[in-house]
Structure 1
Amino acid sequence: ELAVWGTEDGLRFVTPPHEGRLSEARSLLHMLGALDGNQRITDHGRALAKQPLHPRLAHMLVKGGEQAAILAALLAERDPLRNRGTDLALRMRAIHNPNAFADAHRGTIARIKDETKRLKRATTKRAKLDLGELAALAYPDRIGLRRAGAAPRYVLSGGKGAILPQGDALAGHRLIVATDLDGDPREARIRQAAALSMEGLEALFGDQIKWHNICTWSRRDRAVLARKHRRFGALILEDNPWHDAPDADVAKAMLDGIRELGLKPSRAARRLMARAALMGDDFPDIKETTLMETLEDWLLPHLMSVRTAADWKNFDILPALQSHLGWDNTQRLDRTVPGYYETPLGRKIAIDYDEATPGINVRLQEMFGVTRHPVVGQTPLQITLLSPAQRPVQVTSDLPRFWRTSYEDVRKDMRGQYPKHPWPEDPTQADPTLRAKPRK
Structure 2
Amino acid sequence: MTGLPLLPIAEVIPAVKQALSVHPLVVVQAPPGAGKSTALPLELLDEPWLAGRQIIMLQPRRVAARAVAARLAEGLGEDVGGTVGYRVRFESRVSARTRLEVVTEGILTRRLQRDPELAGVGLVILDEFHERSLNADLALALLREVQGALRDDLRVLVMSATLDPGLPVRLGAPLIESQGRAYPVEVRYLPTDPAGRVEDVVARTVRAALEEHPGDILAFLPGVREIRGAQGQLSGVGAEVLPLYGDLPLREQRRALLPDPQGRRKVVLATSIAETSLTIQGVRVVVDGGQSRGQAFDPGTGLSRMVTARVTRDSATQRAGRAGRTAPGVAYRLWSERTQALLPESRPPEILEADLAPLTLELAQWGESDPAALAWLDAPPEPRVEVARTLLRGLSALDAGGRATPEGQRLLEFPTHPRLAHLLSVGAGRGLGALAADVAALLEERDPLPPGTGADLTERVSALRAWRCRQPGRGDEAVLERVERLSRQWRGLLGVRADDSPPETFDVGSLVALAYPERIALAREAVAGLPGGRYLLAGGQGAALPEGDALAGARALAVAHLDARQAEGRIYLAAPLELAALSEQATWHDSVRWDARAGALVAKQEQRLGALVLAARPLKNLPAEQRITALSGAIRSEGLHLLSFSPEAASFRARVESLRAWRPEDGWPDLSDDALLDTLEEWLGPHLGPVRTREELARVALLPALQARLPWDKTRELDELAPTHLSVPTGSRIRLTYRPGEAPILAVKLQELFGLADTPTVNAGRTPVLLHLLSPAGRPVQVTQDLRSFWNSSYFEVRKDLRGRYPKHPWPDDPWTHRPMKGVTRKGV
Q: Same fold (TM over 0.5)?
A: yes
Equivalent residues of 2:441, 2:484 under 8 A apart: no
2:783 and 2:392 map into 1 onto residues whose CA distance is 75
Secondary structure of the equivalent of 2:710? helix
1:256 and 1:23 map into 2 onto residues whose CA distance is 24
**Which amino acid in structure 1 is aligned with residue 709 of structure 2?**
H
1:395 and 1:277 map into 2 onto residues whose CA distance is 23
Secondary structure of the equivalent of 1:330? helix
Secondary structure of the equivalent of 1:190? strand
CA apart distance, 1:177: 1.0
2:393 and 2:778 map into 1 onto residues whose CA distance is 78
**Which amino acid in structure 2 is aligned with residue 213 of structure 1?**
D
Decide which of 407, 419, 444 is 1:56's aligned counterpart. 419
Q: Does 1:35 align with 2:398?
A: yes
Q: Decide whether aligned partners of structure 1 residues 239 and 338 sit closer, same or farther in structure 2, where only a CA change above 3 A counts.
A: same
What is aligned with 1:359? 746
How many percent identity over aligned positions? 36
2:717 and 2:457 map into 1 onto residues whose CA distance is 75
Q: Does 1:90 align with 2:473?
A: no
Q: Decide whether aligned partners of structure 1 residues 288 and 88 sit closer, same or farther in structure 2, where only a CA change above 3 A counts.
A: closer
Equivalent residues of 1:175, 1:198 under 8 A apart: yes
Q: Decide whether aligned partners of structure 1 residues 95 and 116 sit closer, same or farther in structure 2, where only a CA change above 3 A counts.
A: farther
What is aligned with 2:121? none
1:7 and 1:259 map into 2 onto residues whose CA distance is 38
The count of corresponding residues between Structure 1 and Structure 2 is: 428
CA apart distance, 1:76: 0.7
Deviates more, 1:42-51 or 1:91-100: 91-100
**Which amino acid in structure 2 is aligned with residue 163 of structure 1?**
A
1:139 and 1:396 map into 2 onto residues whose CA distance is 68
Equivalent residues of 1:34, 1:42 under 8 A apart: yes
Q: Decide whether aligned partners of structure 1 residues 131 and 361 sit closer, same or farther in structure 2, where only a CA change above 3 A counts.
A: same
1:218 and 1:319 map into 2 onto residues whose CA distance is 28
Equivalent residues of 2:466, 2:473 under 8 A apart: no
Equivalent residues of 1:145, 1:156 under 8 A apart: yes
Q: Does 1:45 align with 2:408?
A: yes
2:521 and 2:699 map into 1 onto residues whose CA distance is 42
1:165 and 1:324 map into 2 onto residues whose CA distance is 55
Q: Does 1:330 align with 2:715?
A: yes
1:270 and 1:23 map into 2 onto residues whose CA distance is 42
CA apart distance, 1:268: 3.3
Deviation string for 1:41-87 (max 9, x for gaps)?
33233333334555434433433334331332243144454343222
Output aligned runs, 1:226-305, within 5 Å. 226-264=603-641, 265-279=645-659, 280-281=662-663, 282=666, 283-288=668-673, 290-304=675-689
Secondary structure of the equivalent of 1:39? coil
1:90 and 1:385 map into 2 onto residues whose CA distance is 83
CA apart distance, 1:175: 1.1
What is aligned with 1:68? 433
What is aligned with 1:102? 473
**Which amino acid in structure 2 is aligned with residue 121 of structure 1?**
G
Q: Does 1:181 align with 2:546?
A: no
What is aligned with 1:376? 762
Equivalent residues of 1:57, 1:72 under 8 A apart: no
Equivalent residues of 1:94, 1:101 under 8 A apart: no
**Which amino acid in structure 2 is aligned with residue 338 of structure 1?**
P
Equivalent residues of 2:744, 2:770 under 8 A apart: yes
1:90 and 1:338 map into 2 onto residues whose CA distance is 78
What is aligned with 2:521? 144
Deviation string for 1:7-51 (max 9, x for gaps)?
685665678777766655544333222332333333233333334
1:322 and 1:159 map into 2 onto residues whose CA distance is 40
Q: Decide whether aligned partners of structure 1 residues 229 and 410 sit closer, same or farther in structure 2, where only a CA change above 3 A counts.
A: same
CA apart distance, 1:433: 7.9
Q: Decide whether aligned partners of structure 1 residues 138 and 436 sit closer, same or farther in structure 2, where only a CA change above 3 A counts.
A: closer
CA apart distance, 1:196: 1.1
Secondary structure of the equivalent of 1:255? helix
Q: Decide whether aligned partners of structure 1 residues 31 and 428 sit closer, same or farther in structure 2, where only a CA change above 3 A counts.
A: same
Residue segments in structure 2 that go unaligned for 5+ positions in a row: 1-109, 111-361, 498-503
CA apart distance, 1:278: 4.5
Equivalent residues of 1:212, 1:229 under 8 A apart: yes
What is aligned with 2:548? 167
Deviation string for 1:123-170 (max 9, x for gaps)?
9xxxx9833333323332321122233431222223444322222222
CA apart distance, 1:273: 3.4
Output aligned runs, 1:336-415, within 5 Å. 336-342=721-727, 347-353=732-738, 357-362=744-749, 364=751, 374-377=760-763, 378-380=767-769, 382=771, 384=773
1:382 and 1:272 map into 2 onto residues whose CA distance is 20
Higher relative contact order (CA 8 A, sep 6+): 1
1:290 and 1:180 map into 2 onto residues whose CA distance is 43
Secondary structure of the equivalent of 2:432? helix
Q: Does 1:158 align with 2:539?
A: yes
1:15 and 1:350 map into 2 onto residues whose CA distance is 60
Equivalent residues of 1:403, 1:428 under 8 A apart: no
TM-score scaled by length of structure 2: 0.43
Q: Decide whether aligned partners of structure 1 residues 80 and 316 sit closer, same or farther in structure 2, where only a CA change above 3 A counts.
A: same
TM-score scaled by length of structure 1: 0.75
Equivalent residues of 1:216, 1:253 under 8 A apart: yes
CA apart distance, 1:117: 5.8
Secondary structure of the equivalent of 1:211? strand
CA apart distance, 1:436: 6.9
2:769 and 2:487 map into 1 onto residues whose CA distance is 92
CA apart distance, 1:193: 1.9
1:16 and 1:403 map into 2 onto residues whose CA distance is 68
1:17 and 1:424 map into 2 onto residues whose CA distance is 78
CA apart distance, 1:424: 11
- RMSD of aligned alpha carbons: 4.6
1:256 and 1:431 map into 2 onto residues whose CA distance is 53
Deviation string for 1:359-409 (max 9, x for gaps)?
143583x6677676543333246263665x8788887756677778859x9
